[in-house]
Amino acid sequence: MIVFAHLLNDASGSPRVLIESMRALQVGGFPVRLHVGRGSGCLSGLGIPTVPYWYRRSRFRPLTLLAYLFSQVLLFFRLLCDRSIDRGAVVYVNTLLPFGAAIFGRLTGRPVLYHVHEISIRPAVLRWWLVSVARWTSHLNLYVSEAHRVALPIPGVPARRVYNALSASFADRAGRCRYASHRGGGFNVLMVASLRPYKGVHELLALCERLRNRDDVRFELVVNDSDADVARFFRQQAAPANLRVHPRAADTLPFYARASLLLNLSRVDLWVETFGLTVLEAMACGVPVIVPPVGGPTELVECGVEGYRVDSRDLSALEARVRALADDPGLCSRMSAAARRSAACFSEAAFANGIREAVNAVMTGSGR
């Protein structure tokens, strides 16, 4: 039995990768169960035995932190009181955040596997605590890129790199998308991100303003936030006229299918992307990309081939790259072809094999 633990049920990258992990292990013959914080994201309605536990985010960070800590106490006792969990079950902790499950595994003698997705954790004392718990409890840590493994080593715990991958169904649909640098006379620039400063949303708004004189350059932002969060954000700062904002979408492929360019503007001084799943999704659709110059996306994108690496704080360089692509359909087509070729290397089969091998290593004791 594999007991999965995850915190936030939303539409971000880590829960989507978790879905693929659970499916890979089910196909491998492992019974699975999921403990997840309450929410209505992509982990809902999967047909997998699921046990929700209380968790609630607030727009006030101290309240969110308190709610988070309380949720992990609840998770620990929920697992401790569940007599149906096999003695030999593997506790699969998705991200560093569900530390209640890791402590449960350690105290009850069950092996713990961490699938680490993040680097930038604040405040610093929380990062220290989460890394300390992982060091104490984990038999094996999985990282999503080489840059990730180097950036967040946890001494004393064996580590493996398993690249994220697209599901076969998404890859098949993406392969049928026909890329065009301009549609309806417009160059469509897409960003898929949450409304957090570290995701580069303010840099996107500034870029829109810089290009407001270009009637042919249009921007779309697909947010991973509630309607209330979107309304609150844009009450404080109005959306530029050349930007369309879309609420959380269960299926983002239609946005990629009409995009000319994808932006990942994560602030390198505030947040380091460990992989960049939206980048890979866009590349599978043949969309050129602009990504940060550090972190996991650098393993997906060679500057000048599939797109560009740009520090989003350098708005002049960012603007120049967007203008150059908007004015050069031939360059866009070459980058589109390169993006598809690179995306094909991140297969579902390779990911599934990596996950199953990791779980077997933990079960047999060869992971530690």
List, in sequence order, every beta strand (DSSP E) within the chain.
2-6, 32-37, 50-53, 90-94, 112-115, 140-143, 159-161, 187-193, 217-223, 243-246, 261-263, 289-291, 307-309
Average pLDDT over residues 201-224: 96
**Measured distance CA(330)–CA(149) in Å, rounded:** 37
Q: What is the percent of the chain with per-residue pLDDT over 90, rounded to a whole number?
A: 87
With cut-offs at 50, 70 and 90, classify the pLDDT of residue 295.
very high
Q: What is the percent of the chain with per-residue pLDDT over 70, rounded to a whole number?
A: 99
pLDDT higher than threshold 70 for residue 108: yes
Do you find a cis peptide bond into 155, omega within 30 degrees of 0? no
Amino acid letter for position 362: V
Q: Which CATH superfamily is domain 2-165+347-364 in?
A: Glycogen Phosphorylase B; (3.40.50.2000)
Q: In the chain, what is the greatest distance between 2 CA atoms, to the nearest angstrom?
A: 65
Do you find a cis peptide bond into 15, omega within 30 degrees of 0? no
What 8-state DSSP symbol labels residue 183? Answer: B
Q: Where are the alpha helices (DSSP H) in 167-289?
A: 168-175, 201-210, 227-236, 253-257, 277-284
Architecture of domain 169-343: 3-Layer(aba) Sandwich (3.40)
Q: What is the pLDDT of residues 16-69, one digit of tens each?
A: 999 999 999 999 999 999 999 988 889 998 899 999 999 998 888 899 999 999
Other C-beta atoms closer than 10 Å to the C-beta of 155 total 6
Q: What is the pLDDT of residues 140-165, one digit of tens each?
A: 999 999 999 999 999 999 999 999 99
Average pLDDT over residues 192-217: 96
With cut-offs at 50, 70 and 90, classify the pLDDT of residue 11.
confident
Predicted confidence at residue 366, as pLDDT, reads 67
Backbone angles phi, psi at 244, to 5 degrees: -105, 130
Predicted confidence at residue 212, as pLDDT, reads 95
**Measured distance CA(159)–CA(115) in Å, rounded:** 10
pLDDT higher than threshold 90 for residue 365: no
Residues 6+ apart with CB under 8 A from 47: none
Average pLDDT over residues 241-251: 92
With cut-offs at 50, 70 and 90, classify the pLDDT of residue 367.
low
With cut-offs at 50, 70 and 90, classify the pLDDT of residue 12.
confident
pLDDT higher than threshold 70 for residue 3: yes
Residues 6+ apart with CB under 8 A from 138: 93, 102, 112, 113, 114, 154, 157
Predicted confidence at residue 229, as pLDDT, reads 86
Predicted confidence at residue 39, as pLDDT, reads 82
Task: Identify the bridge partners of residue 303 per DSSP, sorted by sequence position.
Answer: 307
With cut-offs at 50, 70 and 90, classify the pLDDT of residue 236.
confident
Q: What is the CA radius of gyration of the chain?
A: 21
Backbone angles phi, psi at 94, to 5 degrees: -95, 115
What 8-state DSSP symbol labels residue 273? Answer: -
**Do 300 and 167 form a contact (C-beta atoms < 8 A)?**
no
CATH 3.40.50.2000 location in the chain: 2-165+347-364, 169-343
**Do 1 and 84 form a contact (C-beta atoms < 8 A)?**
no
